[in-house]
Amino acid sequence: MIKHFLNFEWKQFFRSSYWQKSIALNILMGFLALYFMLTFLILGISIYPLLKKQFPESDPLILVNGFLFYWFLGDLVMRFFLQKLPVVNIKPLLTLPIKRSSILNYVLGKSAISFFNFLPLFAIIPFGVILIFEDYSTTTALIWMLLMYIFTLIINFLNFIIEAKSAETELSFLPIIAIASGLFALNYFEIISISSLLGNAVNSIISNPLLILIPLAILVGLYAFNYLELKKKLYVDGSLKAKAAVATTTDLAWTRRFGDIAPFLQLDLKLLWRNKRPRSTIFILVIGLLYGLIFYPNPTYQNMPAMFVFVGIFVTGIFMINFGQFIPAWDSGYYKLLMSQNIKYKQYLNSKYSLMTISAVIMFVLSIPYVYFGWKILAIHFAAMVYNIGVNSHVLLFGGSFNRKKIDLTQRAAFNYQGTGAVQWLIGFPLLLIPILFFYIPYKFINFEAGIITLIVLGGIGIIFHQKLMNFITKRYLTSKHKMISAFDQNN
Amino acid sequence: MIKSTELSKKYGDVTVLNIPSLEIPKGQSFGLVGNNGAGKTTYFNLLLDLIKPTTGKVINNEIQVNKSEDWKPFTAAFIDESFLIGYLTPEEYFYFIGELRGMNKADIDTFLNQFSEIFNEEIIGRKKYLRDLSKGNQKKAGIVAALIGNPEVVILDEPFANLDPTTQIRLKKLLKDLTKNSKTTLLVSSHDLGHVTEVCERIVVLEKGNIVKDIKTSEETLKELEAYFSV
């Protein structure tokens, strides 16, 4: 049975038009994976000698165990944002003579072979091997390695639960942030010293290998919990089928003042509010707005205005980046309608542009209180807003004409986490990093004001040539229209 | 009204549609029948410029569809559920389409009144999103939306499939009235030979992408079609 599942998986991946269109992106992901593997390998090899040198009188193994808490916490948060939960199309399988248990075990097993579970091994194994060479008993080293791997899997299944639960609610990633910062705070303020508790636990398991049964039991428990949770969802009237929500009708009359783009603007606002995937982009706004608090009060960044440009672009452009990179895929479900209805492509795109512009202005206004940390920050935010409106929004719209991946809004049940992975964040990088460069070069060679002016001028040029740019972008969309229609018609 | 010349569509070496010439005059109710894979939906997709023809062109009221977008204001279609916007209520969907076709809310409300029989109180005012309606009700909403704004050309792919018997009968009447009372050119496809002979004054049979029959509907047409398909 597993053989078939794997076969489907393989076909789904390689036969999707997404794969064929974005080989470059896949290669980039490959390099990123390689980079992480190398980093972990170096960490695994070098941590023992480093600790030995820094703290000659302590046992490096005990020290490492003391830090495990931070490792696990970091791992959990990283996974939440980067690891995709397995997406399996369950419905066609339900009526076939396949045991439900094998479907479930497959789904869970698939998450266990994720890259994120192999990555820690690159650090764990070298460290364990060094332990053996450094006169620890072989059992100790082996038990330690096994234990670390069990922990990795525990985190994997814990993340599975958290991710599935937060996908069911509307809160997106607020739960994980709350859990992680709660644990961190408890530990940091020494209300409960989780890191030393965990360290002691690991130490005692190493000295008494039988105790390894406890984490093993936890792992089995989490697996069973996941299994039972998923089992409940395996019915077509359960979560596979969307629950019929009571519809609320709004007419959004105030959008009228935007003229002929009003109907599209209304459509976009409803899209954002009534579907879970796009709605999460709204919650991201809150995170984006608070992002500045990490950098501005911190004295280390005070003489690095380039860092502030990053924050400024991020704060004023977070909605733009999250929403914009999926244009026009948000409308992929009814793209054929839009293409055969009485719609001019340009109006449609202009509506998206307006939405992004409005979001940038609103985010700028909301971020005005940051002026508390200095007028320079306000100036940077303003320049970043202009740059976002003039340059990034057009870049995003242009990039959208290469979009070939359908987003299925109607499938909001479990097992559907499409489009939320490392790729999403990867696309944002150039949008965030290039303006830093535009700021940094004049800043370095002339002064702060020159950097700000460069950004504003670049943004201004984009705004002045908006019509011309839109004509060009519209042409791009018209050329790739048929390709998009056929790609959006595919289900995977 | 609609003229296709040398129209063909190939995927690789396989020709899925090949129509040397087909002209549908204004106001005609035109039926397309054929087995699966005969090219019915392909033809409709070509009329709407949703796929690119390999050769030839489609001219809709003097406008070549893949050259200009000016055919859109007077053409409406419902091909499949991907023409529905799932997260809107049916009313909002009708208002949206209405707005694109220059009708305001009041216009739409009056327009919708004439369909209360077909809707059977299951579509309007139910506080449900389109995605939560049954397949049949989705179809009803889609077909009605295609009639908004008195388009001169209406294209419906398999309008009778998924509908309950009562609605099928009502829809037949509606479509017949549509071509009788106005100058609307109606294009439908169907697997149900009975329905299509009842509604359409002209029937074209497609087989493997080629036109094999072009019949003006008469008393014998149903028999003729049944004889043709019962091989």
Q: What is the ipTM of this complex?
A: 0.84
- The pLDDT of residue A420 is 47
Who among A249, A337, A344 is closest to B92 (CB)? A249
Closest partner residue to A263 among B49, B69, B100, by Cβ? B100
Contact criterion met (CB < 8 Å) for B88 and A410: no
Are A235 and A365 within one domain? no
Residue A228 has pLDDT above 70, yes or no: yes
Give the minimum alpha-carbon distance from A233 to chain B in angstroms, rounded to a whole number: 19
Q: Are B93 and B85 in contact (CB under 8 A)?
A: yes
Q: Least CB-CB distance to A342: which of B72, B105, B131? A: B72
The reply to whether A246 falls in a domain is: no
pLDDT at A240: 44
Q: How confident is the model at residue A245 (pLDDT cuts 50, 70, 90)?
A: low
* Residues on chain A touching B79 (C-beta within 8 angstroms): 336
Nearest residue on chain A to B147, alpha-carbon basis: A341
Do A196 and A74 belong to one domain? yes
The architecture that CATH gives domain B2-229 is 3-Layer(aba) Sandwich (3.40)
Query: For residue A413, what pLDDT is reported?
Result: 35
Q: Indicate if A394 and A421 belong to the same structural domain.
A: yes
Lowest mean pLDDT segment, chosen from A77-81, A158-162, A387-391, B95-99: A77-81
Contacts of B85 in chain A (CB under 8 A): 267, 333-334, 337
How many structural domains comprise chain A?
2
Using the beta-carbon criterion (under 8 Å), do B84 and A337 form an inter-chain contact?
Answer: yes
- The pLDDT of B31-57, averaged and rounded, is 91
Quickly state the pLDDT bin for A182 (edges 50, 70, 90): confident
Q: Ranked by mean pLDDT, which of A115-124, A128-137, B23-32 comes out on top?
A: B23-32
**Residues in chain A whose beta carbon is closer than 8 A to a beta carbon of chain B?**
242, 244-249, 251, 262-263, 266-267, 270-271, 274-275, 333-337, 339-345, 409-410, 482, 485-486, 489
Write the pLDDT tens digit of every residue in A364-421. 999 988 888 888 889 999 999 999 999 999 999 998 888 777 777 754 433 344 444 4
Same domain, A364 and A454: yes
Q: How far apart are CA B71 and CA A310, in angstroms?
A: 47
- The pLDDT score that the predictor gives to residue A301 is 78
- pLDDT score at A242: 46
Query: Does pLDDT of B133 surpass 70?
Result: yes
Pair A164, A226 in one domain:
yes
- Predicted local distance difference test score (pLDDT) of residue A340: 87
Go through A130-157 and write b for each residue having 16 or more CB atoms within 10 A of its CB, e for each that does not. Answer: bbeeeebeeebbebbbbbbbbbbbbbbb
Cβ distance of B50 and A336 shorter than 8 Å:
yes
Q: Residue A160 pLDDT more than 50?
A: yes
The predicted model gives A161-190 an average pLDDT of 77
Nearest Cβ partner for A341 among B100, B105, B128: B100
Domain with A8, as residue range(s), is 2-240
Surface of B (112-171) touching A: CB under 8 A: 127-129, 131-132, 149
Chain segment A44-76, per-residue pLDDT in tens: 888 888 888 888 888 888 888 888 888 888 888
Say yes or no for a CB contact (<8 Å) between B85 and A341. no
Mean pLDDT value across residues A471-486: 90
Contact state of A337 with B85 under an 8 Å Cβ cutoff: yes
What residue of B is the nearest CA neighbor of A490?
B82
* Mean pLDDT value of segment A477-487: 88
Contact A249 B91 (CB under 8 A): yes
Co-location of A135 and A284 in the same domain: no
> Does the beta carbon of B92 lie under 8 angstroms from any beta carbon of chain A?
yes
Residue ranges per domain, chain B?
A: 2-229
Both A370 and A404 in one domain: the answer is yes
Say if residue A336 is in the same domain as residue A433.
Answer: yes
Judge: A339–B49 Cβ closer than 8 Å, yes or no: yes
Residues A292, A188 share a domain: no
* Minimal Cβ distance to B86: which of A262, A335, A410: A410
My answer on whether A173 and A270 are in the same domain is: no
Within a domain: residue A247? Answer: no
Residue A187 has pLDDT above 70, yes or no: yes
Which long-range contacts does B133-141 make (Cβ < 8 Å, 24+ apart)? B133/B90, B135/B81, B135/B162, B136/B162, B136/B163, B136/B164, B136/B167, B138/B81, B138/B84, B139/B78, B139/B81, B139/B163, B140/B167, B141/B84, B141/B90, B141/B93, B141/B94
Do A149 and A268 belong together in one domain? no
The pLDDT assigned to A417 comes to: 45
Answer whether residue A24 shows pLDDT above 70: no
What are A422-450's pLDDT values in tens digits?
555 666 788 888 999 999 999 989 888 99
CA distance B214 to chain A (A): 27
For residue A245, tell me if it sits in a domain. no
CA distance B90 to chain A (A): 10
Eight-class DSSP state of A242: P
Q: Which among B87, B89, B101 is the nearest to A271, CB-wise? A: B87
Percent of chain A with pLDDT over 90: 19
Which residue among A240, A264, A288 closes a domain? A240
Express each pLDDT in A257-266 by its tens digit.
777 788 888 8
Residues 6+ apart with CB under 8 A from A483: A404
pLDDT number for residue A30: 79
Identify the residue with better confidence: A98 or B31.
B31
Which domain-ending residue is among A240, A272, A288? A240
How far apart CA A332 and CA A488 sit, in angstroms, is 5
Pick the closest to residue A411 from A486, A322, A484, A333 (CA basis): A333
Query: Would residue A105 count as lying in a domain?
Result: yes
Question: Model pTM?
Answer: 0.72
Q: Average per-residue pLDDT in chain A?
A: 82
Q: Are residues A325 and A460 in the same domain?
A: yes
Last residue of one domain, picked from the residues A240, A269, A285: A240
